[in-house]
Amino acid sequence: MRSSAPLLLALAAGFIAGPGIPISAHAQEPKAATGEAPAAGAPAPASETRVAILYRPVPAPSSYDAEAEPEDLGVAGARMAVKDNNTTGRFTKQTYALDEVALDGERSAVDAAKELADKGVRFFALALPADEVLAVADALKGTGAVVFNAGAPDDRLRGADCRANLFHVLPSRAMQTDALAQYMTLMRWRKIFLIVGPSERDKAYAEAMKNSARKFGLKITAEKPWTFGPLARARGDTPTRAEAMVFTRGLDYDMAVVADEEGDWGEYVPYRTVDPRPVAGTQGLIATTWHPTLETWGAAQAQNRFRRLAGRLMKPLDYQVWSAVRSVGEAATQTRSTDPAVIAAHLVTPEFSLPAYKGVSLTYRPWDHQLRQPIIVVQPKAMVSVAPEQGFIHQRTPLDTLGADEPETACKLK
């Protein structure tokens, strides 16, 4: 829902003036990693809640980008969340431990999840692709387990392929492209040149961008497939460079939007268009959950704690897994229960809230189990804005202007 009226509802929901700124170790077998022990003199814990993270180790990084994909990506976020859970849990006699499962080679995520469920684990954070997320959620349906999707942005997981035992802590593609579309609307950059990569993920992102353009009144004046190969990875001049520049000639647009989730060529486009135009999408100006330049609302303290724990900067997947594990701890604290049925039911009530360094407490949408959250719009070295932007209002919360709203959802939870 769009409006040019003053952002009265946003103010009531806890937003302040300013452009879009809201206030307020791999192993084949599960490896247990407990958080900080209760302080001396604290009440003895009555129970231990185990949370498992399932992930596939990232491939070795390129020599020029050695810090892009650390080996503990995502896992470090889970470790910090377990420490945070134990800090608050000592007052409610609750303790937490982490099972880390690296799915090397062809190891099945379903088999690993079933093994953990047989040992009593009932909370799972998945840093996996969409098909594996669905397979694990379906395999655990009869166990009472609660599954958190921390790595798959696919809209279908919040739509026709939604599951009652599955919760989503990262924004959907629709939420990401809505955030960019809101910023483009705010800046009056209404004409889009959409460049689409060859992978299915690229095409899914492009489709989400088209939907966002329609939703916010933007116009896609040109759309072309990228056919010049992985020039960004080539890191040098190639015979196709001139062709790639001609590719952008004679077009009328305000913003080039690249759909390159594989990271093969999107970084090649900025500064190589014939006309001087900004680039956004999966590269250039991006919409994401977390960024090193986010320092407001207590985020600087979180960044520093993570750096001390992991010896590096926090990345979006770390934050997303942290949000999943903290959702368990926060719901357990609020309900004084670690029963997965109680936790799952509480997550979608108005009483649940997750403080997460975003200026507002985060909540889950009951119709598709998506975590509502502000989305930061950033360029590589600076934060540019935060969505939802001023002027976009909603009868419940401005956060519901991002992604599929309840009347639009294809999700039919059973």
pLDDT higher for 115 or 392? Answer: 115
The pLDDT of residue 45 = 44
The pLDDT of residue 105 = 85
Backbone phi and psi for residue 260, each to the nearest 5 degrees, phi listed first: -140, 75
pLDDT at residue 10 is higher than 50? no
pLDDT higher for 305 or 233? Answer: 305
Work out the average pLDDT over 393-400: 90
pLDDT at residue 7 is higher than 70? no
The pLDDT of residue 13 = 36
The pLDDT of residue 128 = 98
Report in angstroms the alpha-carbon separations of 183 from 179, 282, 406. Answer: 6, 15, 23
Indicate the range of 59-68, 136-145, 358-367 predicted with least confidence.
59-68
What number of CA atoms fall less than 13 Å from residue 293's CA on the CB side?
Answer: 12
The pLDDT of residue 373 = 97
Confidence of residue 230 (pLDDT cuts 50, 70, 90): confident
Work out the average pLDDT over 59-80: 77
Residue 310, token pair as written in the block: 């992991």
What's the pLDDT tens digit per position in 326-384?
A: 999 999 999 999 999 999 999 999 999 999 999 999 999 999 999 999 999 999 999 99
Share of the chain above pLDDT 70, in %: 85
What's the pLDDT tens digit per position in 203-229?
A: 999 999 999 999 999 999 999 999 988
Work out the average pLDDT over 292-315: 96
Assign a CATH topology to domain 23-171+291-373.
Rossmann fold (3.40.50)
The pLDDT of residue 238 = 58
Confidence of residue 67 (pLDDT cuts 50, 70, 90): low
Indicate the range of 5-9, 69-73, 118-122, 131-135 predicted with least confidence.
5-9
Query: Mapping DSSP to helix (H, G, I), strand (E, B) and coil, where does residue 323 land?
Result: helix
DSSP string covering 2-20: ---S--HHHHHTTB-SSTT
DSSP string covering 60-88: PPPGGGTTSS-TTTTHHHHHHHHHHHHHH
The pLDDT of residue 126 = 98
The pLDDT of residue 243 = 73
pLDDT at residue 270 is higher than 80? yes
What's the pLDDT tens digit per position in 163-174?
A: 999 999 999 999
Work out the average pLDDT over 62-87: 84
Confidence of residue 65 (pLDDT cuts 50, 70, 90): low
Assign a CATH topology to domain 178-286.
Rossmann fold (3.40.50)
Share of the chain above pLDDT 90, in %: 76
**Which stretches within 160-249 are classed as H helix?**
173-187, 200-215, 231-234, 241-246
**Is the whole-model pTM more than 0.85?**
yes
The pLDDT of residue 280 = 98
Indicate the range of 187-191, 230-234, 313-317, 349-353 predicted with least confidence.
230-234
Report in angstroms the alpha-carbon separations of 235 from 26, 238, 267, 268, 274. Answer: 31, 9, 10, 9, 20
Confidence of residue 245 (pLDDT cuts 50, 70, 90): confident
The pLDDT of residue 175 = 98
The pLDDT of residue 42 = 43
CA dihedral 22, 333, 128, 374 (to 10 degrees): -10
- Domains of the chain, by residue range, sit at 23-171+291-373, 178-286
The strand pairing partners of 100, in sequence order, are 31, 53
